[in-house]
Amino acid sequence: MENEAKLTAGAITTFGIAVAALVVLPYIQVRDIQPPEGLKPYTSAELRGREIYVANGCLYCHTQQPRDRSFAPDFDRGWGRVTTPGDYYYDKPHLLGSMRTGPDLMNIGVRQPSMDWHLGHLYQPRAYVPDSTMPSYPYMFEVKDQAEDDEIIVKLPPKFVPSGKVVVARPEAVDLVKYLRSLDRSYPILPPDPQNAGKKDR
Ligand code: HEC
C-alpha cells in the first residue's frame, strides 16, 4: 500500500514539473507579447490560403522558423533573420513545422513575390526546378479550352501547358499564393535593451 502511495505521489510530482516547465512557464513568457509594428494581420483571403496550406500538408515539408545565425546558415540561404515570438502574433496555431524537405517559407513573400511563379510552381514544381521533389497540386487548377474573362491563366513554360488548352487557377490556388506572399518577417525587430546590454547574465 505504502509503495502505491509513493508511486502515485511520484507520478503526480513528475507530471506537475513537466506541466510547469512545458506549459506554465512558456505561457508566462509569451502572454504579454505584442505584434511588431511592421506586422500586418492576415486578410480574409490570406487566412483562407493559410487553411489550404494546412489542409495540403505543406508544413510537413516546410518550416516557418529561420534560425539564429549562430546556429545555422539560414540567413545566408536567404531565408531571413531569426524569428521572435511577436512574429507569430497572428498565427493561431503557428505553423513552425519540424521538417525541411523544402526551404523555410517564413519570408517567401520577400524572396518570391510573383503570383505567376507561385501558381505555376504549385501546378508543376518541375517546370521551374527540374529535380524538385515537391508534389504538384493539379486539383487546385483547371485545364480548359478557353479561360473565362475573370479567370487567372497560369503562365507556364510552354512545354508544360497541355496542347491547345489553358491552365486556370481555382480560387484556392489564388488564396494560397496570397497567403504565401504575405509571409514577410523582414521588418526590423527591436534591438536589445541598452540598459541591460553587457550585463554578465545576458
Ligand atoms: C514532399 C515535400 C513537400 C511538400 C508536401 C511541399 N513542398 Fe514545397 N518544396 C519542396 C521542395 C523539395 C522544394 C524545393 C524545390 C522546388 O522549389 O520545387 C519546395 C519549394 C517550395 C517553394 C519555393 C521555395 C523557394 O525558396 O524557392 C514554395 C513557395 C513551396 N515549396 C510551397 C509549398 C506549398 C504551398 C506546399 C503545399 C501546398 C508545399 N510547398 C508542399 C517540398 C515540398
CATH number at residue 104: 1.10.760.10
- Position 31 confidence tier, pLDDT thresholds 50, 70, 90: confident
Cβ of 129 below 6 Å from ligand 1: yes
The helix (H) or strand (E) run that includes residue 8 is: helix 2-19
Give me the residue label for grid cell 511563379.
117
For residues 196 and 194, what is the distance between their CA atoms, to the nearest angstrom?
5
Residue 201 covered by a domain: no
The pLDDT of residue 189: 83
Nearest-CA neighbor of 53 among 88, 111, 87, 94? 94
Give residue 133 CA to ligand 1 midpoint distance, Å. Answer: 8
Residue 49 covered by a domain: yes
The pLDDT of residue 201: 45
pLDDT at 202 over 50: no
Averaged pLDDT for residues 122-134: 97
Residue 127 covered by a domain: yes
Give residue 149 CA to ligand 1 midpoint distance, Å. Answer: 30
Residue 37 covered by a domain: no
| Residue 85, domain extent | 44-182
Give residue 157 CA to ligand 1 midpoint distance, Å. Answer: 18
For residues 80 and 55, what is the distance between their CA atoms, to the nearest angstrom?
25
Q: What percent of the chain has pLDDT over 90?
A: 88
Query: How many alpha carbons fall within 13 Å on the CB side of residue 147?
Result: 14
CB atoms within 10 A of CB 59: 17
Which three cell numbers mark 185?
518577417
- Position 159 confidence tier, pLDDT thresholds 50, 70, 90: very high
The helix (H) or strand (E) run that includes residue 143 is: strand 141-144
- Position 198 confidence tier, pLDDT thresholds 50, 70, 90: low
| Nearest ligand 1 atom to alpha carbon 140 | 38
pLDDT at 50 over 70: yes
